[in-house]
Amino acid sequence: MKYTHTPTICNHLLHFLDQHHIHQVLGQHKESDKWAKKFDTRSTFLALFMAQILEVDSVRWLETILHTQQNKLYHLWMKDFHRSTFSDRVNKLNPIIFQSLFYHLIQQTKTLLGQQEKFVQEKIYAIDSTLISLTLSVYNRAYYRTKKWGIKMHTRMDIDLWIPDLVIITEGKKSDSPVWKSLLENIEPWSIVVMDRWYLDYTLLADIEKKRLSFVSRTKVLTQYCPIQINTITHPQVQYDAIVEFIYEKARKTYSWPLRVIRWLHVDDKTWETKLLEFITNNLDLPADQVAMIYKKRRQIELLFKWLKQNCVIKAFLWTSQNAVENQIRVALCYYVLLVLIKHTTKTKHTILTLTRKIATLIFERVAFLYVLWNIPVQRIVLASNSPPQQTLFSF
């Protein structure tokens, strides 16, 4: 009988993970596997990883799928899978383990991808937060409002590499203000921070200026300023470009540096409707059209939130404990970073959504990974070359 050693698609994905670092993290947290005989932390990560790929909405569904593929689980770090053992492990496992794996994967991705093509010399980061609503009667810990429950993901995204650089998970009722300083840590000087206008706070702007960073945002309706110098307009869509300062004394006392306001006439590509957008920045040297394009790049972090909520198991969590919810979010982020790494390294034209659908369809198939990326007809591997012909269902 002739056998082949072609791995499954799931094995191909796991090859991107640093096995040495996984063993190192598990060695630092030996207590996590102290009483685990068969189903250890590595198996827990793999089961959560496969739940994200298959987009299952219950542990029983995941158990049924894995039991049908029992002969392929041995090469995927798992020997036995039982939903009761799996649920107990996820609920008790410290989220710092998967958090460490996520940040190491981020560093590994930055090293492999290196410098990407960008239209400005400076590094661009986007900061934003999203609220994941939870069921009121089930998640009684995540208070948000009187009739709303949820958790909040405070995210800093590397725009050049399309990956979340830092993720902080808090309760839904927690304000974004206490998390600002954490999101601005370890950013290279002279980098550009893109944010929504709801982050336009005088204290935050002062912190950005003191860290020698640039920011790009939109002005609020009540933002009051007076022009100091009118700049020359060189682009047809730029309606206004001026150096300004805040009018109110309290605002000037908190933020005393000069600012720049740009009004950009945005034209919709489909409907040809026009809309006047007003941007504010402390970068006085960038061309006005580049400031508008930098703010447009902020859409990437919105697409990240949309992808996580629509294509990962974080909208309807499999468990309700705090550890289990955070573990699922961390594994979902690891899966997203792996997809971005695959897309950049293979130069495939598939979108992230198309990659998730292809991988979910062929996750247990023993095929070459290039078949998935380059639309080559899938040639499944036959394990037994001289096997007898299989009988049909109605053959007697």
Q: What digits encode the pLDDT tens for the residues 245-276?
A: 998 888 888 988 999 999 999 888 778 888 99
- pLDDT score, position 388: 53
4 has pLDDT over 60 = no
- pLDDT score, position 80: 73
- pLDDT score, position 92: 85
What is the CB neighbour count within 10 angstroms for residue 135? 13
64 has pLDDT over 70 = yes
Strand order in the sheet with 214-218: 163-171, 149-158, 124-134, 192-195, 214-218, 274-281, 259-267, 238-246, 225-230
Tell me what the pLDDT averaged over the chain comes to.
80
- pLDDT score, position 250: 86
- pLDDT score, position 313: 62
CA atoms 82, 85, 88, 91: torsion sign:
negative
Which position has the higher pLDDT, 94 or 116?
94
Average pLDDT of 105-129?
81
Per-residue pLDDT tens for 219-239? 988 888 899 999 989 899 999
Question: Range with the lowest mean pLDDT among 7-21, 34-48, 129-143, 326-340?
Answer: 129-143
Per-residue pLDDT tens for 190-226? 899 999 988 888 888 899 999 999 999 999 888 888 9
Whole-model pTM: value is 0.81
Question: Range with the lowest mean pLDDT among 17-31, 83-97, 311-325, 381-395?
Answer: 381-395
280 has pLDDT over 90 = yes
- pLDDT score, position 37: 66
Q: In sequence order, which residues have a C-beta less than 8 Å from that of residue 344 and are 6 or more positions away?
A: 113, 116, 161, 162
- pLDDT score, position 146: 46
- pLDDT score, position 135: 52
Q: How far is CA 63 from CA 48, 90, 105, 203, in A?
A: 12, 15, 27, 50
